[in-house]
Structure 1
Amino acid sequence: MKKAKIFLMVNLMVVFTASVAYADAWDNAQRFLSDTSGKLVAMSTLAAGIAVAIGGLMVKFSFGDEQKIKTGKKLIWNTFVIWAIINGTTLILNTIAPYLH
C-alpha cells in the first residue's frame, strides 16, 4: 500500500509540473507545424507538376501503346490524389495549430 501511495504521489507531481515544463514545447510545435506546412505544400505542388508533366509526356509519346497510355494516365490520376491528400493534411494541421496553445 505504501508503494502505491508513493507511485501516486510521484505521478501527480509529474502531471502537475509537466504543464509548466512543456509550455514552451507547445509554442515550438505550433511554429514547427506552420513552417513545415507551407514548405510541404510548395514541395508537393512542384513534385505534382513534374509528375503530371511526365505522365502527359508518357501519354503523348506512347505511339499507340495501350500499356504506356494506361501507365501515364495512372500516374496523372495518382499524382492528383496524393497531392489532394497532402494539401488536405496541411489544411487540417493549419486548422488545429492555433488550438495547441
Structure 2
Amino acid sequence: MLVSLASIIDGHSRATGEIYGPPQGIDSSNLALNQLKRNYCLGAALALRNDRRLLSQPHILELADDYQLSLEYILHGYRLGVLNEVLVRYRIHSSNVSNNQGGFNQKGCGCLTGL
C-alpha cells in the first residue's frame, strides 16, 4: 500500500494551499505503527493492491473508509509506503462522505478488536 500527498481544493476546484499527507517524521519505516494511533492515509491518495479476499469481506463493503482500509491491509501483512509527492487533488466540500466521523470511528475501532 502506498500513500502520497494530496493538494486540497475547494468546492470550486481552487487550490487552498493546504497539502494533506503524513507529517514530518512519519515515513515508510514507521507509518504502519503510527497509523494504529490515527489516520494519516487519505483514501484518494492511497494505492492499494487488489486483494479480493480482503476487499470482499462484508464489513469492508458496508462503509469502507480510508482508515479502516489501511488498518485491514496492515493487519493482513501489507507494508505501507510513503511517496512525498502530490499525486492527487482532493476536493473538500460540505457534503463529503467523510463528514460521517461517528460511523467511521466505530468501524475503525471494530477492525482492531481482534488484536
Calculate the TM-score normalised by the size of structure 1: 0.22
By percentage of residues, which structure has more strand? 2
Q: Which has the larger radius of gyration?
A: 1
Give the structure, 1 or 2, with the largest relative contact order (CA under 8 Å, sep 6 or more): 2
Calculate the TM-score normalised by the size of structure 2: 0.20
